[in-house]
Amino acid sequence: MAETPARRQPRFQQITVMLLMTAFQLVCAACVLCRQETLQLSMVYLLVGYIAAEWIYLLIGNLVTGNDYFELEAIAFFLSGLGLTLCASFSEAFAFKQLVAIGLGLAVYLLILLLIKNMYVVRWLRYPAAIGSIGVLALNLLLAQVHNGALNWIDLGPVSIQPSELVKVVFIFVGAVTLEKLLSTKALWLYIGYALVCVSCLFLMRDFGTALIFFFTFILIAFMRSGNVRTLFLICAVALMGAMLVIYFKPYVANRFAAFRHVWEYADTLGYQQTRVLTYSASGGLCGLGLGEGYLRDVYAVTTDLIFGLINEELGIFMGVAVVLSFVGIAFFAVKTAKSAGSTFYAIAAVAAAGMLLFQMSLNVFGVTDLLPLTGVTLPFVSRGGSSMICSWGLLAYIRAAGAPFVPPRPDIAVNKRLRRPAKGGGAT
């Protein structure tokens, strides 16, 4: 198969996008620095350094990623920079950790692009990746401590990690490469078994929001490859029965969603966070109260689960809409590039990754606004947290790879094997 041609984006467009984004980020940085009683040079270096890193990537990053367009990375840099600014408005420690997380996420992004560039490597990594991800989840069950009612964090001293976030990247990889060839019953059942083990581990961790994300992604991948509505309907019915059994034998699970659509009746208990998000988001109006001027920043988990409410309050509803549209843009980009992807693997992985990001964003945004049950998932790229940031950039790599040049899996070796294969009559071909 010939390599798919790289699509070129005019340099003028790239520079224009970067100039607009830089202007916005400099205004936000100025707002953060003006709030300090004494100007701290370390904070200046941190914020300006992030902007410089974006320009460096624009200038030399295309040599590494092998393609000549920037809109996808621009969206990721915009969302990551927004999260960095909000963290900086709280403390320098928050900002430094978030900047390190962005750097690690970008490194993982480039590493995944390098690994999945060749389908020979992709297929070789399938089983080690699947076994390793299950082992990580099992280790999580053994070592994690209860945090907000869930066993999803492992404390490593100065830092904590959430393994389920990292497994999201592997989950899509295993599904896409397993179903990359013509679908067989064996391949589908292998992936069903793998998905069942992952979701079961998440239920044992009581991380129901992440379990729902995994299940949605599994349905998306299976439907893309098979198109068999009846099989997927049966899987959903079995999953629903399993959820009902969990609620029956574990009543505390249902209690976590008791406030759904009734948050004002539990304004001082179960609905405390959501009622504050709704109230303070509305008070921000279209343009916001100003960075650092919000009241929601005194509510627990405001930089993680509730950060969308903080965006609306301090930066305005316009900015909140821009964040939502950014994820919609990523989804449209994935669908567009998947149509011309050089392999089924890239098409499945790109759409599944975009679907996962869009679905997680929906759970976060609609959860804090009481349109969906509050599941406690983060807002990709924006929420504070290293595991979430690394996962977000890792998923972005699948979308980027769908539009990159395609390297077939060792076609020279495959041709030579066919030439050496004996004929049915016993003679050489």
Q: Which of 128, 202, 206, 124 has the alpha carbon at shortest distance from 170?
A: 128
What does the pLDDT average to over 292-309? 90
Q: Tell me: the pLDDT tens digits for 331-386?
A: 999 998 888 877 888 989 999 999 999 999 999 999 888 888 888 889 999 999 88
Length in residues, the chain? 429
Q: How far is Cα 7 from Cα 381, in angstroms, rounded to an integer?
A: 25
Residue indicated by tokens 């928050």: 94
Which pLDDT does position 161 carry in this prediction? 85
Mean local confidence (pLDDT), 168-194? 79
Instruction: Supply the pLDDT for residue 9.
Output: 57
Ramachandran angles phi, psi of 196, nearest 5°? -65, -40
Output the pLDDT for position 423. Answer: 46
What's the rounded Cα separation, in Å, for the pair 271 and 261?
9
Q: What is the mean pLDDT of residues 38-48?
A: 88
- pTM of the predicted model as reported, rounded to 2 decimal places: 0.87
Mean per-residue pLDDT, 226-231: 62
pLDDT of 382: 95
Summarised one tens digit per residue, pLDDT across range 388-428 is 999 999 999 999 988 765 555 555 444 444 444 454 444 44
Q: What is the pLDDT of residue 107?
A: 94
Structural element, H or E, at residue 152: strand 150-155
Q: What is the pLDDT of residue 230?
A: 62
Read off the pLDDT band of 229 (50, 70, 90).
Answer: low
* Distance, CA of 295 to CA of 288 (rounded, Å): 12
- Kindly report, residue by residue over 100-119, the tens digit of the pLDDT: 999 999 999 999 998 888 88
* pLDDT higher than 90, residue 274: no
Question: Of 20-24, 265-269, 303-307, 358-362, where does mean pLDDT reach its minimum?
Answer: 265-269
User: Helices 344-368 and 208-226, interaxial angle, to 10°?
Assistant: 140
CB 171 within 8 A of CB 214: yes
Using alpha carbons, list the distances in angstroms from residue 234 to 3, 28, 182, 221, 238.
Answer: 39, 50, 22, 16, 6
HSE of 317, CA atoms in CB hemisphere, 13 A: 10
Tell me which H or E stretch contains 185: helix 185-204
Q: Measured between alpha carbons, how far is 366 from 17 in angstroms, rounded to an integer?
A: 29
- CB atoms < 10 A from the CB of 382, how many? 29
